[in-house]
Amino acid sequence: MGFMTPDIPDVDPRSWPGLPRSTRRQIMTRHWVEHGFGSPYAVYLFYIVKIAVYVAGAAAIISLTPGLGGLGRIGDWWTQPIVYQKVVIFTLLFEILGLGCGSGPLTARFWPLFGGFLYWLRPNTIRLPPWPDKVPLTGGDNRTVVDVVLYLVVLVSGAWALLSPGRGGPVTAGGDVGLIDPVLVVPTIAALALLGLRDKTVFLAARGEHYGLTLLVFFFPFTDQIAAFKIIMLALWWGAATSKLNHHFPYVVAVMMSNSPVLRSRAFNWFKRRLYLDPVNDLRPSWIPKVMAHVGGTTAEFLVPLVLVFFADGHKWAWFLIGFMVLFHLNITSTIPMGVPLEWNVFFLFSLFYLFGHYAGVTATGLSSPLLLVILIAALAVVPIVGNLFPKQVSFLPAMRYYAGNWATSLWCLRDGAEDKIDANITKASALVPKQLARLYDPNTAEMMIDKLMGWRSMHTHGRTLNGLVARALDGRDEADYKLRDGEIIAGPLIGWNFGEGHLHNEQLLAAVQRRCQFDEGDVRVIILESQPIHVQRQEYRIVDAKTGLIEEGYVDVESMLARQPWPEPGDEYPVHVLDGGDPPRPASPRSRSPRLDGADPPRPASPRSRSPRLDGADPPRPASPRSRSPRTRRSAR
């Protein structure tokens, strides 16, 4: 491996596209065990430099605040009340520009390395409103001047508040420069909220569930602010810990540790092999990642913050707890996880020293404002509870279901030529991933690198299910005529940001693509897999055609996901529960039907497969939910 050369299996790239999918998945997932994604050293250097720019940029800009004394005196002023406020604003701006999460090669963004502002300042790019049929003036999927102006308001008003002097005089006994005038963040909050109603992508990219909520705290007295900041941190830890109470998380840990640059040396290969039941034939997690996941991860993330927030109260032993959580977040950061929430973890590190170190004497239980308490309960308890019970309706970010392996996902099946049509007809700042990689490597090597990403997805539980549903999606069509792409590498180039949020590449994005490209039936099929609700051991799936809409919906059992390998086996079948509804017999596959010479498809028989959601944006009444219908169990050829 070189500075720019990826570590890929020793296979002739020219023969790679002709190999069966099962063989390609076996090669890539087995290679992942010891090599991870195989990123060139330049990739890790890029992320290290980006973290350094984030830290240095925040320090340099905050040091310009009148009265602080400049960057040379940072040791004297880093604990001032206004500093934490400005770190929050700086980080929000860093994220909403697209410089933080969801940037760079580990989010399949090879050139350009960033999305964000390159899309959100550009009219006619795709936007995805969260409730276009319910909120007036938010319909459509085309970015307009209004959206660009709202985005600019967030940037300009945020920068104005970031550079503003303190107001109101000292709020601590030690003397300080005061706090940010909360009026200054009103335009930022209002514009971000309005922008989020018109495009959920931008709101999620800004990490509105964290930094946006924190801006609201600025309107309350200083001691209430510190108490609220601690409660927000506790909720983030507990939300993440709760999301890990599943069977999926050990898979995440095994895959993440295999990809850790800290363990890149061959000297660690023995350890990485032991992360799996059999590093060749059974790529399910062994007891090691299970212990790491649920003892070193889930249990610790519940208990240590609990003691730190409610019982430490400035005791000297609290520094042991702070040190533990520092190591916890350094470990996450050191693995450079896919999605790269690196600056977010650095923010946690700063918060540990600032909130629980310097301001240990201000307790979370000392919160005095009833209004602030109501706001925190709504954002930190009600929304996550709803999101865990009904993950189909709530993004994993406000639901605080973080890096736990239980995400909504999708797999796009694109007939040959479909990607070229997308590139030609959709306004965007970068080409689709194959063309991005082809600028750096040859096209066949590019396909191998994409298949490495598909191997990463396949090693998780949901990826094993997506593999098993391909045959149902193609419905007898020749798989050799299609390219299979993870929804993440479709969403990134089309909307400017991707962060493991499957709701950004479901039917809504497909509808926007179809309006611009007008694909024929069968050209683009998408398999959509929803997250597992916390209280049931199943996950809903849908198969959708770009032109005709919903083909099939049903659910799969988590138990079935846990029994699979990350590659399809010849003749194997994947068990699914198709929703009942009087389905007529399936028509013969396209191979046995006589084509219509006028190019028009005959009318499709009415069935749940041809009903909502419609991709023209007008959803007819949906049939009864899975809970009220008797599922019919079928097995899908893998």
Q: What is the pLDDT of residues 381-436, one digit of tens each?
A: 999 999 999 999 999 999 999 878 899 999 999 999 999 999 999 999 999 999 99
Which residue carries 């950061």 as its tokens?
Answer: 333
Query: Could you check whether the bond before residue 613 is cis, i.e. omega within 30 degrees of 0?
Result: yes
Rounded Cα distance, 222 and 224, in Å: 5
Return the DSSP state at 184: G
Give me the pLDDT at residue 583, please: 42
Percent of the chain with pLDDT over 70: 90
Average pLDDT of the chain, as a whole number? 88
pLDDT value at 611 more than 50: no
Return the DSSP state at 357: I
Give me the pLDDT at residue 607, please: 39
Higher pLDDT, 170 or 308: 308
Q: How confident is the model at residue 1 (pLDDT cuts 50, 70, 90)?
A: low
Give me the pLDDT at residue 3, please: 76
Q: How confident is the model at residue 349 (pLDDT cuts 50, 70, 90)?
A: very high
Pairing of strands 573-579, 538-545: unpaired
Rounded Cα distance, 51 and 343, in Å: 6
Gap between the terminal Cα atoms of the chain = 34
- In terms of Cα–Cα distance, which of 99, 112, 207, 126 is closest to 505? 126
Give me the pLDDT at residue 476, please: 87
Q: What is the pLDDT of residues 469-525, one digit of tens each?
A: 999 999 889 999 999 999 999 999 999 999 999 999 999 999 999 999 999 999 999
Give me the pLDDT at residue 634, please: 53
pLDDT value at 592 more than 70: no
pLDDT value at 11 more than 70: yes
Phi-psi region of 124 (alpha: psi -120 to 50; beta: other; left: phi over 0): left
Give me the pLDDT at residue 573, please: 83
Of 172-176, 457-461, 500-504, 633-637, the one with minimum mean pLDDT is 633-637
Provide the 3-class DSSP secondary structure of residue 409.
strand
pLDDT value at 618 more than 70: no
Q: What is the pLDDT of residues 273-293, one digit of tens each?
A: 999 999 999 999 999 999 999
Give me the pLDDT at residue 2, please: 61
Residues 231, 364 contacting (CB under 8 angstroms) = yes
Q: How confident is the model at residue 154 (pLDDT cuts 50, 70, 90)?
A: very high
Q: How confident is the model at residue 628 (pLDDT cuts 50, 70, 90)?
A: very low
Which whole number is the average pLDDT over 251-267? 92
pLDDT value at 340 more than 90: no
Q: What is the pLDDT of residues 101-152, one digit of tens each?
A: 999 999 989 999 999 999 999 999 999 999 999 999 999 999 999 999 999 9
Q: How confident is the model at residue 315 (pLDDT cuts 50, 70, 90)?
A: confident
